[in-house]
Structure 1
Amino acid sequence: MSRFVMNEDVETATFDWGTAGMRGAPTITGCESYVVMDVELAPGFAHPFHKHPDQDEMIVLKAGRIVQWLGEDQRELGPGDSVHIDRDVVHGSYNDFDEPAHLQVVLAPAHGEGGYTAVDVSSEEPWASLRG
């Protein structure tokens, strides 16, 4: 089902780490190849350490800054920066700054009922102690 997805039609869900607007997912567009989300992380919030066992991911920072963890490595990302994350690799996005961070997230292939499956590992070691 090809279709236009207008900004006002993007359904936004609120999580403990921020918000995600589903722009492309099986339930939105019928596409099973990928999922596209608009994510906002408020200052001081994060999408803590997790992994997607069956999906690759690309995160593009559109505005603001984040500290992006990829395994045990980290890097500060700003507007226009991105990270590719292979399936089953632990990662986390942390907004340690004073302004909201806006990310465009693509996961492929679509998986699970909502299009993506995330496994929280933030309470497991070494992830629980990594940010000290």
Structure 2
Amino acid sequence: MTMAYLAQPDQQQTLEWLDGGTFSVLLDSQATNGQLTVGRFAVNKGEAPPFHMHTREDEILMLIKGAALLWLGEEQMELSEGGIVYLPRNIPHGYRITSDTADLLMIATPGGIEGMFRQAGRDISTPRPDDFTIQPEKLAEAANRYGQVLLGPPR
């Protein structure tokens, strides 16, 4: 089945994510008939997800703005502004933002990973509880449910 889908900014969901950053769901698996998920991170210096791997999808990250350190397995490298990395499923990886702010585009195929962000994060269109934080247990539960394997702490 071939389909097209247009998502205007007011139709995109933005979630509060790790370390005070946000993750915007630009296209989800429902909009793409399961083919892919497209999301965008707006994060600050030091933001770093746990070292992890995806078991269900391949991931592409493009650093639109900023700078980051990237780990692929035990190999560390710099990801500079405009850089892009392809991460096939089952490749352990992580990153740490080294610039004051960063803008990252994420494409995952097939779609579905947005469920993890929705389960662990908080939709910013709802009132923010004073005590909101993404607890490690909540992140681990969401990651497990959506095929992510947390391999260790952020690098």
**Which range, TM-score by smaller chain?**
0.7 to 0.9
Partner of 1:19: 22
Aligned length: 123
Structure 2: segments with no counterpart, 5+ residues: 117-145
Aligned partner (choices 25, 34, 37) of residue 35 of structure 1: 37
Aligned partner (choices 90, 104, 121) of residue 88 of structure 1: 90
SS of equivalent to 1:8: helix
Structure 1: segments with no counterpart, 5+ residues: none
Aligned pair 1:119/2:149, yes or no? Answer: yes
User: Would you say the 8 A contact 2:28–2:112 is kept in 1?
Assistant: no
User: Would you say the 8 A contact 1:63–1:102 is kept in 2?
Assistant: yes
- The 1:84–1:7 alpha-carbon spacing in structure 2 relative to 1, beyond 3 Å, is same
SS of equivalent to 1:114: helix
- The 1:117–1:20 alpha-carbon spacing in structure 2 relative to 1, beyond 3 Å, is farther
Q: Structure 1 stretches (4+) deviating beyond 4 angstroms?
A: none
- The 1:65–1:13 alpha-carbon spacing in structure 2 relative to 1, beyond 3 Å, is same
Partner of 2:11: 9
| CA RMSD between the two structures | 2.1
Which is strand-richer, 1 or 2? 1
Partner of 2:54: 52
Structure 2 distance, partners of 1:45, 1:65, is 11
Identity %: 28
Q: Give the TM-score, by structure 1 length.
A: 0.81
Structure 2 distance, partners of 1:36, 1:117, is 17
SS of equivalent to 1:37: strand
User: Would you say the 8 A contact 1:24–1:31 is kept in 2?
Assistant: no
